[in-house]
Amino acid sequence: MSGRSSICVICKGTKGLCGLRECPLLARSRGVFKAYSSVVEKLDIAAPSPPSAIVGERGYPLVPLIYNIVPESGIENASLYDNPKLWHGRLGLKEIVELRSSLLGGILKVRVSDPWKLYEKEISLAAVSLSPIETEARFRRPPTLKLSFDSVLRPNGLLSPAEKIKVNSSPKLDKNLERMIWDDVLAKDALVELFLKGTDVYLLERALSLGLLGKRNNKKLVPTRWAITAVDDTISEFIKRKIQEFKVINEINVFSGEYLYNKFVIVLIPGTYEGAWIEIWHPKSIWAMNSSEAEVMISVDTIREGPLPPDGGFSAARLGVLEYLFNKRKTAKFIIIREVFPEYIVPVGNWHIRETVRNALKSTPTTVADYNELANVVEQKINSKVGVNLFKEMLKKMISQKSILDYLP
């Protein structure tokens, strides 16, 4: 983190040291100013919520709940401010940062064991509404600018402690989710059931986080960062078990996609389920700010356990691959390579990883004849020698494991 500060301190958004034409940090400041200007004179604000709510983890079990409203937006456009599926492929890093900077978050302190308090005030129901919610908020003091970029959470804007949040329109709920709120079902079973019925994972993240899922007497708020990975992993572990019954793919396919200066190459190879994640951070990218060489990270997922080490980025990407296999009724081994370029100067959450992998898997793959050709194709797609070598090692490891079925009469 200090590396990132140092380049920005030298640059201050004027020298373009990061390679971008405009500094996203400045863009964010501009967004924040916009929101701040519109609210600075008053502490009572009526504005729509996309909806958007974040449960923090600091102070657990007495945690902050941030309920976001958009002072600058009309109700018809508010949903854009918390809708990664709408952003993907349309908005650049600067636009996303600017958009999120316009959010004004009212902070309430909530005990995780008391989600009903939020339910009674309809705050948790508003947070999972399918359409924007008219909201009145009374703040204790003028909002303060608080930079919050995160590799799992989406960026957040201005914050201020809220004296009250009042929901002024009726939440429009997903029917399946609404039924599940009252069902006495374990949260993990509820997540799987809702996923199978087509409920969006971003809605599931909010429902889990706001304490709407789980056994009736044991519902709890879950910090949003944990909830995001919990949703990815719960659904993925379910699919992982399920696809064992399916046939193995019969060809080697390579998919790729790029968004927000992140490139993903996804390789599917025949075999029983096994997955690997190779992350390459080029020098000057966020986490390799002071490195002269690329920083790399590997995580592995097997039928038996995984991902190891845990990684929110891998969890998001893995869900995309598993959804693809589940829909195709197939099983496979896979390797995902994520290449992060220096222009990705602020993390904006892991949603773009999930969405880019999902979208890449909708494209037409390159089908290769054998593992030698596969290595050549990957070498052409990845601009990192260390990354290519890691891929070759991982591939060798995966295909070296024989199946006991090969030896049965």
Partner 1 sequence: MKLVFTEASLWKEVLLGASKLVNEITLIAGSDGVKMRALDPSHVVLVDVFFPRESLEEYESNNESFGLELDSFAEIIRRARKDDALSLELVGDKLKVSFKGKFLREFYEPTGEPSFKDLPDPKIDLKAEVRILPKVLAEAVEDIEMMSDNLTFEVTTGEFKIFSESEIGSASVEFQNGDEGIISIQSDGTQKGTYGIDFFSDLLSTIRSAEVAILSLSTDMPSKLVLELPAGARLVTFVAPRTA
- Closer residue to partner 1 in complex, CB, 2/372: 372
- Residue closer to partner 1 by CB (options 182, 407) is 407
- Give the shortest CB-367-to-partner 1 separation in angstroms: 24
Choose between 264 and 273: whose C-beta lies nearer to partner 1: 273
Q: In the structure encoding, which two tokens stand for residue 52, read together? A: 């958007």
Residue ranges of alpha helices (H) inside 88-173 are 93-101, 115-120, 123-127
Round the CA-based radius of gyration of the chain to a whole number and report it: 22
Nearer to partner 1, 146 or 397 (CB): 397
CB of 371 to partner 1, least distance (A): 13
| Whether 224 contacts 54, CB under 8 Å | yes
Q: Which is nearer to partner 1, 113 or 302 (CB)?
A: 302
- Tell me if 365 sits within 8 A of 330, measured CB to CB: no
To the nearest whole angstrom, how small is the minimum distance from the Cβ of residue 171 to partner 1? 38
Q: What minimum distance in Å lies between the beta carbon of 243 and partner 1?
A: 10
**Would you say 329 or 397 has its CB closer to partner 1?**
397
Q: Contact 101/23 with Cβ under 8 angstroms?
A: no
Q: Which of 311, 314, 320, 324 minimizes the C-alpha distance to 356? A: 320
Closest-CA residue to 267 (of 340, 401, 360): 360
Three-state SS string over 7-63 comes to: HHHHHCCCCCCCCCCCCHHHHHHHHHHHHHHHHCCCCEEEEEECCCEEECCCCCCEE
Question: How do 366-368 and 252-259 pair as beta strands?
Answer: antiparallel
Is the Cβ of residue 216 or residue 397 nearer to partner 1 in the bound state?
397
User: How far does Cα 146 stand from its chain's mean position?
Assistant: 21
- As given in the structure block, the two tokens for residue 344 are 């990705």
Residue 244 burial (10 A CB sphere; 0-12, 13-18, 19+):
exposed
| 362 or 396: CB nearest partner 1 | 396
CB of 337 to partner 1, least distance (A): 20
Q: At what angle do helices 312-328 and 224-242 cross, to 10 degrees?
A: 30
Q: C-beta of 279: minimal distance to partner 1 in Å? A: 19
Nearer residue to partner 1 within complex by CB, 122 or 295: 295
Rounded CA separation 121/124 (Å): 8
Residues that bind partner 1 (CB under 8 A): 241, 244, 272-274, 302-304, 397, 400-409
CB 404 → partner 1: shortest distance, Å?
Answer: 4
- Token couple for 151: 């590799």
Closest CB to partner 1 among residues 57, 293: 293
DSSP annotation of 61: T
Q: How far is the CB of 397 from partner 1 (least distance, A)?
A: 8
3-class DSSP state of 391:
helix
Instruction: Write out the E strands in 218-315.
Output: 247-248, 252-259, 262-269, 274-281, 295-302
Minimum Å distance from CB 270 to partner 1?
12
Torsion, CA 322, CA 325, CA 328, CA 330, rounded to 10? -140
Nearest distance, CB of residue 296 and partner 1, angstroms: 14
